[in-house]
Amino acid sequence: MQKEIEKEREEYNTETLEEIYETTKENNVLLNKIEKYQKINTALKIVYWVIILLSVFGAYFALQPFVSSLFGGGSNTFDNISIQAQNLPEVSRFKKIMSGFGN
C-alpha cells in the first residue's frame, strides 16, 4: 500500500513537472515576442521623434527668410506705412484739432 501511494505521488509529480515545463516553454515564447515588440516600438518612437524634430527645424529654416523680411528687413516697410499714414487727410485734421487743444 505504501508503494502504491509513492508510485501515485511520483506519477503526479512527473505530470505536474511536465505541465510546468510546457507552461514555461509557452511563457518563454510569449516573453520573446513581447521583447521583440518592445524593441520595435522603441525604434518606431525614435523615428517618430526624429521626423518631428527634423520637420520643426526644416520649417524654421524654410520660413526664416519670410520672418526676417517681416521683422528684420521690414523696417523700411513699416517706415513707408507710417509716412503714408501721416499723409492721410484724417490724420492731418486730427493733428489740427489736437493742436487747437494745446493753445
Is residue 4 located within the same domain as residue 54? yes
Is residue 62 located within the same domain as residue 25? yes
Is residue 41 located within the same domain as residue 81? no
Is residue 15 located within the same domain as residue 63? yes
| Residue whose C-alpha is closest to residue 94's, from 62, 9, 37, 86 | 86
Share of the chain above pLDDT 70, in %: 77
pTM over 0.95: no
Collapsing DSSP states into helix, strand and coil, what is residue 45?
A: helix
C-alpha span between 101 and 94 (Å, rounded): 11
pLDDT above 90 for 8: no
**Amino acid letter at 40?**
I
Instruction: Over range 46-59, report the average pLDDT.
Output: 93
- Measured in residues, the chain has a length of 103
Domain range spanning residue 99? 73-103
C-alpha span between 96 and 77 (Å, rounded): 27
C-alpha span between 73 and 71 (Å, rounded): 6
List pLDDT tens digits, range 58-93.
888 888 877 777 766 555 666 666 666 666 666 677
Is residue 50 located within the same domain as residue 3? yes
| Higher per-residue pLDDT: 90 or 46 | 46
Is residue 4 located within the same domain as residue 22? yes
Return the minimum-mean-pLDDT range out of 22-26, 52-56, 58-62, 73-77.
Answer: 73-77
C-alpha span between 61 and 39 (Å, rounded): 33
